[in-house]
């Protein structure tokens, strides 16, 4: 089911700016901006910011500066209201009068053309007929009307009008608001009312040059044209490098192999796999960047959906087949295989079975020998040695008690030394038996 959205203009609608702001330190929110964004999300709308940034084409700042301003805007919105989250940022850096060659041209993304709205709607599966556009300039209203959105012209009397807002426009907004709170209140009030049949919808808007980019105007590959902050980004076809996480790397390795990959078992549960097709073998799996991509049948990133096995239950692994030699794989697969070989821990050396048996037999003999020696360990020499050792300890205790008498102390110590020598001799004799 498609979701409606509220498209906010950025400059002089959410932040105070004349349209040429490239310093994130100078970002200041318009009064009520955070509460308006949070309220729109509470009403069930996605929130998209779309803005012309011709300052890039004029050499006043770079695309990175635009992204930094957008990021700072996000931070200030969330700091003021935790529910004020922008789902996506779209901006157009092109202008036909630009001084930077790569940006000096017209683009269908530049308002009043609706290219940015259409791009966000395609990426996020948005329902434009139920969506709204809020902006301070006539070009915002024209862009919204071009795709069937309802529109609100915002003009805060405390803010100086931007050059875009000063330009005349023939487009009539559906509502005019002096505050962002008033604009969102109007949207909330209209949610319970059926849309006027006289209002054009996206299906009734004729497909013109403003709805789609002309064939002779391809977008350049070098500069990026938008910065997405979507909580649910669209799945992208990517080829993962060798340093990708293991689950994604394994999925890419499977798709990159030159030999066809066996297709899943048919839905009737039979053990015969369906015929493989070259197109299916070469299809690169879709990997969601920044979120979990759940393939058909369940699972998470890099998890193969369970297939019915011949014995019932599920069989996650594909049918057994001979491994493909590394030399026959694609360059990407060879690099990944080499990296896996480097990271694999060395296997322990095998232990021969006869060596294990000999070790166990030796342990058994030692235990038996110790038991036999324990039974024959008694001797008179050991007994006498123990008795004499006890006498030595008693004499040393007496010497401690009479430590004040030097003559008696020497006598006791001499006697103790003699008896200790006798104890050692008796123990040696017992060992020699």
Task: Tell me which residues are annotated as active site.
Answer: 9, 11
Q: Which two tokens stand for residue 108?
A: 């269908």
How many C-beta atoms surround the C-beta of residue 16 within 10 A?
20
Both tokens of 366, joined, read 């030692």
Instruction: Look at residues 109, 9, 108 and name the one whose alpha carbon lies nearest to residue 49.
Output: 9
Please answer whether residues 144 and 7 qualify as being in contact, where contact means their C-beta atoms are separated by less than 8 angstroms: yes
Distance (Å) of CA 264 to CA 248, 267, 300, 317, 388: 19, 9, 18, 10, 86
Judge contact between 259 and 329, C-beta under 8 A. no
d(CA 426, CA 386): 9
Decide: 91 and 66 in contact? Cβ < 8 Å: yes
Q: CB neighbours of 40 closer than 8 A, spacing ≥ 6? A: 6, 47, 184, 187
Token pair belonging to 406: 């030097």
């Amino acid at each position: 089911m498609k979701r409606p959205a509220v498209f906010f203009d950025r400059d002089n609608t959410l932040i105070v700016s004349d349209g040429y702001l490239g310093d994130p330190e100078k970002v200041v929110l318009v009064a009520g901006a955070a509460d308006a964004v949070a309220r729109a999300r509470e009403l069930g709308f996605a929130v998209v910011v779309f803005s012309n940034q011709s300052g890039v084409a004029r050499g006043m700042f770079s695309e990175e500066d635009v992204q930094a301003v957008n990021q700072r805007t996000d931070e200030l919105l969330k700091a003021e209201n935790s529910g004020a989250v922008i789902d996506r940022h779209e901006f157009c850096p092109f202008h036909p009068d630009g001084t930077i060659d790569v940006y000096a041209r017209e683009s269908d993304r530049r308002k009043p053309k609706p290219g940015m709205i259409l791009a966000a709607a395609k990426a996020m599966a948005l329902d434009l007929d139920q969506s709204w556009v809020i902006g301070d300039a006539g070009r915002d209203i024209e862009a919204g009307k071009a795709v069937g959105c309802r529109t609100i012209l915002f003009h805060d009397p405390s803010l100086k009008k931007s050059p875009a807002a000063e330009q005349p426009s023939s487009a009539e907004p559906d509502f005019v608001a002096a505050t962002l709170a008033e604009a969102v209140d109007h949207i909330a009030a209209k949610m319970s009312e059926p849309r006027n049949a006289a209002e054009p919808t996206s299906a009734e808007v004729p497909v013109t040059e403003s709805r789609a980019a002309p064939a002779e105007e391809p977008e350049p590959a070098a500069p990026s044209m938008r910065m997405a902050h979507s909580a649910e980004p669209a799945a992208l076809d990517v080829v993962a490098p060798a340093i990708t996480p293991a689950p994604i790397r394994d999925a890419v390795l499977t798709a990159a192999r030159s030999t066809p990959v066996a297709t899943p078992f048919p839905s009737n549960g039979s053990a015969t796999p369906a015929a493989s097709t070259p197109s299916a073998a070469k299809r690169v799996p879709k990997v969601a960047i920044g979120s979990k991509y759940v393939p058909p049948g369940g699972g998470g990133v890099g998890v193969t959906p369970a297939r019915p096995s011949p014995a019932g239950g599920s069989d996650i692994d594909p049918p057994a087949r001979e491994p493909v030699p590394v030399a026959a794989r694609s360059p990407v697969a060879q690099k990944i295989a080499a990296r896996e070989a480097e990271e694999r821990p060395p296997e322990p050396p095998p232990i021969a079975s006869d060596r294990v048996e000999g070790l166990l037999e030796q342990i058994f003999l030692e235990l038996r020998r110790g038991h036999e020696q324990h039974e024959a360990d008694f001797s008179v020499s050991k007994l006498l040695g123990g008795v004499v050792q006890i006498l030595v300890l008693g004499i040393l205790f007496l010497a401690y008690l009479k430590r004040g008498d030097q003559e008696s102390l020497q006598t006791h110590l001499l006697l103790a030394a003699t008896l200790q020598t006798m104890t050692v001799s008796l123990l040696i004799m017992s060992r020699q038996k």
